[in-house]
Amino acid sequence: MPILLSACGGGAEQTAKEAAETPTSDGRAIPISSLAKLKSFRYSLTMHIALPEMENELLPGLADFLSDVEIRGASVAPDKSEMQMVLGKAGKTIGAVVIGDKTWFSSGEEWTETPDGALDVSLLSPDTVSSSVIDQEAFAGTEPAKEAISGVDTLHYTATQSGLGSLRELLGLVELENDAPVETKMDLWLTEDGGYPVRMVIDAKGTDTEGREVSIQLEMNVTDLDDPGIEIEPPHS
């Protein structure tokens, strides 16, 4: 379940069909549907990472940016999306807008149209992140609770995994050399109608090989499903 590099394109992606057929221990499938099937939606994604010596694994200064990440965006089928990402305590802002085969990028106030394929915003979309992060076996045999989120009826699945592992492995930063205790609590809310993942919360805690506490918290929320009022336009230069 490599969160960081899967979200950035470094992990294997799960297809919508595979996600929709996640089996439980008694043979039933957890009805996870791809958000790509929706006409439109808005989303937010936040991630906090406390990982000692992460700086040693990344470029200088990049670890500070990745310690706190907040993304807000929207998607309109078939080919429009926008996102704003705030990185680190300094609040570095990065924005992107995709309309058809055109992509605009901003690292401040000015927008620049980028060459086709230079920036794949879909790698940070909630559909890609959820399919990369959701463990296919974690919710096997769990019974969901019915809950309403923002007026939407959902099924709330909860799972906890404990054992030897590595939060570095969870992030996809480096190959695992020495296992350490890791406990991961995962909460997943799927719409009762359609099985769309509208909320996901992951809280992973453990220790590194030197006994220091490390943790990852990730939260994703998807709202305004099939809202016809969502519009995405080219940014003003």
Is residue 102 in some structural domain? no
Is residue 49 in some structural domain? yes
Q: Quick one: which of 84, 83, 119, 77 has its CA closest to 100?
A: 77
Is residue 83 in some structural domain? no
Distance CA 13, CA 24 (A): 20
Is residue 121 in some structural domain? no
Band (222; pLDDT cuts 50, 70, 90): very high
Host domain of residue 172: 3-9+16-60+127-223
Strand partners, 105: 96, 112
pLDDT in tens, 37-72: 999 999 999 988 876 655 555 545 555 656 788 999
Is residue 134 in some structural domain? yes
Integer CA distances (angstroms), 160 to 53, 87, 140, 204, in order: 26, 29, 11, 10
Rounded to the nearest angstrom, the gap between the alpha carbon of residue 14 and the centroid of all alpha carbons in its chain is 13
The 3-class SS string of 57-86 reads HCCCCHHHHHHEEEEEEEEECCCEEEEEEE
pLDDT in tens, 6-15: 333 333 333 3
- Average pLDDT of the chain is 75
Work out how many domains the chain is built from and give that number: 1
Is residue 73 in some structural domain? no
Q: Which of 22-26, 64-68, 115-119 has the lowest mean pLDDT?
A: 22-26
Is residue 88 in some structural domain? no
Residue 231 has pLDDT above 50, yes or no: yes
Is residue 39 in some structural domain? yes
pLDDT in tens, 86-106: 887 777 888 999 998 888 999
